Amino acid sequence: MSARFVYWMNVSLDLFIEHAPDEQGGGDWMSIGEELHEVFNARADALTMMVQGRKVFETMESFWPEARDNAEFPRVYRDYGRIWTDKPKILVSRTRSVAPHNTTVVGGDDAIERLGEVRENVRGEIGVGGAGVATQLLRAGLLDEVLIFTHPVILGSGRPLFDDVTSLVRLDLLEHASYAGGVTMHRYAVKNA
């Protein structure tokens, strides 16, 4: 049995992941309290590994390694810093050839094919971060699940959850939950992945 690629993102009600260009996951439109961060930590800790596009990786790289040991941050931040830094990661990038924090870099025209090989050779869930990587995995029939945390805001514009999906993709609801601040979680299986 192979692993499952799970695309995991925070989204607005109209399915944008960024409102301003290069917002890098830190938009003030998100409602991430301690309860929700604990959920993020538990899910991230359970992952076999993470696959991230360059923008997502560099956003994470600029904050979480230092957060893990910063006593001024809440415990949930320090815990996530430890999880992200220690977790095996694959950075999908054409511009970087090395990366720290237990990270392997995969680039080039065969990057998605190589991710498919990784998927076949490990078990568990592989968290996917980044619309570009997720869209490519979806097009290749390799994206298994979509896990979205929807924040109670309509942005009207921004970076969408997927890039240029041109054919219908059917999903099955696997799980849903609600959290403080009006955030909801929906986890879907991608049919025919």
Give 13-44 pLDDT, tens digit per residue: 999 999 887 666 567 899 999 999 999 999 99
| pLDDT of 193 | 75
The C-alpha atoms of residue 15 and residue 193 are separated, in whole angstroms, by 21
What is the average pLDDT across 46-59?
95
Task: Return the number of other C-beta atoms located less than 10 Å from residue 108's C-beta.
Answer: 10
Residue 182 C-beta-side C-alpha neighbours within 13 Å: 10
Q: Are 36 and 30 in contact (CB under 8 A)?
A: no
How many residues make up the chain in this entry? 193
The C-alpha atoms of residue 114 and residue 2 are separated, in whole angstroms, by 14
pTM of the model: 0.94
pLDDT tier at 109, thresholds 50, 70, 90: very high
CA 162 to chain CA centroid, Å, is 12
| pLDDT of 44 | 98
| pLDDT of 23 | 66
Does the pLDDT of residue 68 top 80, yes or no?
Answer: yes
Structure tokens at 21: 């260009």
| Domains observed in the chain | 4-178 (3.40.430.10)
| pLDDT of 20 | 81
Does the pLDDT of residue 51 top 80, yes or no?
Answer: yes
What is the average pLDDT across 122-135?
96
β-pairing, 89-92 with 184-190? unpaired
